[in-house]
Amino acid sequence: MKYIVYMENSFCLLGKEFFSKGNGAAIGSHNPYTATQFESREVAEVFAKTFDLPTKIGYQEKFCRQFDKCDYKYREVPLIDIGHNRNFNKETDDADAVLAWRMKTRMLPEKATSSAAYQSWPDLYSVFKHLHGIESYSSKDYKKTYYSCSINTTKDASFDLFKTELSKVLDFCTYIDDDGYKVFSIFDHELSQYESRYFLYKNDGDWEVSNGRRNVIEGTFEKCFDTMKREFWYE
């Protein structure tokens, strides 16, 4: 039965780091099979004293059995979604195509699209006047993910255009507050330096602008829009 030198190390696979003799150094490894073997505990202790770490001596066979049974996964990398993974085509992809691609991408696992494809698609704010970007939020227990879109408006914005663009993401939004309002974060000129603001929607006659603690304004869609472009504009 062979002895090896190891130390407790929570960063290693088995919670232990195993040492082998290197060229002027002791080499630490996750794998007990790579550790230098010694015929006796005494000889192993001699090696352990050649470097300054809180080492221990143990049987290699025991750790090798643990290593063989270990099914630890370092990580899982999602496979690229071949049906969705494509580059932007400026000849055929209009603003609505950009929106659809961005919405689906956010709902897929991270890295389900290649970096090259992802970077080829324009941001929403570059093809829309009022849609800034797709956002996601986790539930309090982190078991669910909800989706929405950040929005913005200029001081001289048109209500009709704002209404048209927001309608494109109303059904997509699944981020709903405790009062049943769909939540759209407002990207304004203060960049949330002092507080975050939200455009809230429940039905065609029930709209609010809120800072998360209190309502800034509530009423009709157009009334809330006018407040947003007057006080929470972005240019």
pLDDT surpassing 90 at residue 100? yes
- CA 27 to CA 24: how far, in whole Å? 10
Q: Dihedral (C-alpha) 106, 109, 111, 116: value to the nearest 10 degrees?
A: -30
Identify the bridge partners of residue 8 per DSSP, sorted by sequence position.
16
Half-sphere exposure (Cβ direction) of 210: Cα atoms closer than 13 Å: 16
Mean pLDDT of 17-30: 96
Residues 161-201: tens digit of each pLDDT: 999 999 999 999 999 998 899 999 999 998 888 889 999 99
Res 215: pLDDT: 76
Are the C-beta atoms of 227 and 216 separated by less than 8 Å? yes
Edge-to-edge strand list for the sheet holding 26-29 = 26-29, 16-21, 3-8, 56-59
CA proximity to 2, closest of 29, 44, 38, 41:
38
What is residue 32's DSSP assignment? Answer: G
- CA 111 to CA 81: how far, in whole Å? 9
Res 161: pLDDT: 97
Selected residue with higher pLDDT from 61 and 193:
61
Percent of the chain with pLDDT over 90: 82
Residues 122-155: tens digit of each pLDDT: 999 999 999 999 999 999 999 999 999 999 999 9
Half-sphere exposure (Cβ direction) of 140: Cα atoms closer than 13 Å: 3
Average pLDDT for the chain: 93
Percent of the chain with pLDDT over 70: 100
